[in-house]
Structure 1
């Protein structure tokens, strides 16, 4: 009778041949057969777990690689594969631990430091993430992703000149042109981009969606929605159709719904749209860009609202013109903007938000056929416990 260990060795070698040839399903089957003949064998566990990672079988890989690293803590490939699976399952802290176990077991690589930086970033550990990005760049100075992320961390820390250099390096080494030029403009005196990259805004709010409402209202003391709509709520005005631009999870919609026959929303973030739809406040919520939403229909609205939305829009000429086309006679266009410094029209701040000047908004309102019904200054939210001031407007069609 053939020795089980010899059979296990044969199946193991067979599995390795399948793996090298890219036949991952066959490799998986053969590694599993080898393991059944030699339970707990570290080399089989490691290779099986790596194969499961390659196949995207994250949960199974997690179990297999935990056994492999326990059986042989010196197997660097097993630690790296374990960290990969943990990243995919958004288990950021265990992934950091696995990567830190892998580091002393072999030469440093830029890819390893990049993975560590991404996980530290997810854990909101900016100093550790910055160090990891810099280690990656020491090993490979052409990594556009590392330059771009380094720039963002330095921008958040107020080191604007060094952040600018990082974004310039990201552009030099093939980083996303639109995104890095947008970042660069936020920390330099370069011309202000008229609008942010759509992918940036969508990704930002997709990642923010699950904790958006709690974080915004509780941590940032967000009040723009209540401040903007307070005069309309107090007057008990009635609206046939309301358009909620950049509706998010539905904070404005919930406030105005008792006074409206229908409320329609639009948001660029699919995750936000899902939450707004689930609220039951809206007749419909469109996943898309607000300007396209405004232009897609001629059905009039008697209230168009945008609370703390234009900070992610930029130049407002096209939006104002589109709202004017949709707004019914006697209707109201209610919105807020973050307040720019005196004498400034449109500014891209290091926070990657736009600020607008009051004179700019009023000129634009007059040019597009509006009159100012109300204008007042009040906080929008807080940043590090300091109020962020905004301008609030209610416009009506000019007679």
Structure 2
């Protein structure tokens, strides 16, 4: 790879691959140099080099991953997403969140599924909603969700942006949702302030909000894991919910999937915006 990069020094993907080889070989300083070269050649950071540098101790942990990195990750992953997640990683968050929603006994006029992915949650809650909207950063994931034929509206949105820039209000008004869901989405964001501001704008008075996070324990607000996903602490999430006017109805701590053969601890929240 080093010889190839002598011939093609502006090859960002090659530098990224070299960085991963060096990292796995235990050559951290050499890996950092290669990740820096990748980032210099790829300012949009579609490879997530800034995240890797943070894990190697070179720079602060970003508040969120680059949007182009997340979009590319899931565009590439769409075709095998459900097979990998459900069949190999014992992923059951959609069913667990749907059970929390079902226990309210409510029927919702409009539900918005944030980060809907391939639409795993949609079929689980479809019978309880009049209109179901799904939003995701990846167009390929949205195409898979459309195949399920349970969403009334699907569109691209970036949850890391301010409400007016997110794309959530291009086709619908503020305060339209009496149910907002986010199944295993928030772990692709570090600082959750912007997404809770967005949800506050989206949710109607009396709306329910059901979502999951990876459990960071009781220490720092959030941290970046080796998986390049973020884990969040319960006190941090509680603080943001209170700040944006949501009351907690139920908290469930569960294993939400496996990663590298090991269980990943998560927290499921059911909350409500008071009428």
Category of TM-score, reference length = shorter chain: 0.7 to 0.9
Cα 1:339/1:187, change in 2 over 3 Å = farther
1:332 aligns with 2:199: no
In structure 2, the residue matched to 1:272 is 141
Residues 303, 332 of structure 1: 8 Å contact kept: yes
In structure 2, the residue matched to 1:298 is 174
CA RMSD of aligned residues (A): 2.3
Cα 1:344/1:397, change in 2 over 3 Å = same
The one of the two structures with greater contact order (alpha-carbon pairs below 8 A, sep at least 6) is: 2
Alignment of 1:342-357 (within 5 A): 342-357=218-233
Cα 1:355/1:158, change in 2 over 3 Å = farther
Q: Which moved more, 1:257-266 or 1:318-327?
A: 318-327
1:275-299 CA-partner distances (Å, limit 9, x unpaired) = 1112110001002323513344325
TM-score norm. by structure 2 comes to 0.86
Unaligned runs of 5+ in 1: 1-132
In structure 2, the residue matched to 1:259 is 128
Cα 1:225/1:330, change in 2 over 3 Å = same
SS of the residue aligned with 1:280? coil
Cα 1:241/1:304, change in 2 over 3 Å = same
- Higher-strand-fraction structure: 2
The structure number with the bigger radius of gyration is 1
Residues 177, 202 of structure 2: 8 Å contact kept: yes
1:146 aligns with 2:38: no
Residues 32, 58 of structure 2: 8 Å contact kept: no
Cα 1:153/1:240, change in 2 over 3 Å = farther
Match of 1:191 among 55, 60, 67: 60
SS of the residue aligned with 1:251? coil
Residues 224, 379 of structure 1: 8 Å contact kept: no
1:319-346 CA-partner distances (Å, limit 9, x unpaired) = 1112112212221111111112431112
Cα distance in 1 for partners of 2:196, 2:20 equals 31
In structure 2, the residue matched to 1:250 is 119
Q: Which moved more, 1:325-334 or 1:174-183?
A: 174-183
- Shift, 1:377, TM fit: 1.2
Residues 294, 323 of structure 1: 8 Å contact kept: no
- Higher-helix-fraction structure: 1
Cα distance in 1 for partners of 2:10, 2:133 equals 46
Residues 192, 346 of structure 1: 8 Å contact kept: no
Unaligned runs of 5+ in 2: none
Cα distance in 2 for partners of 1:350, 1:279 equals 32
In structure 2, the residue matched to 1:371 is 247
In structure 1, the residue matched to 2:41 is 175
1:334-375 CA-partner distances (Å, limit 9, x unpaired) = 111111243111212222111111111111111111221111
1:3-53 CA-partner distances (Å, limit 9, x unpaired) = xxxxxxxxxxxxxxxxxxxxxxxxxxxxxxxxxxxxxxxxxxxxxxxxxxx
Cα distance in 2 for partners of 1:150, 1:266 equals 35
Cα 1:152/1:356, change in 2 over 3 Å = farther
Cα distance in 2 for partners of 1:142, 1:324 equals 44
1:161 aligns with 2:37: no
In structure 2, the residue matched to 1:204 is 73
Cα distance in 1 for partners of 2:234, 2:145 equals 31
Residues 223, 379 of structure 1: 8 Å contact kept: no
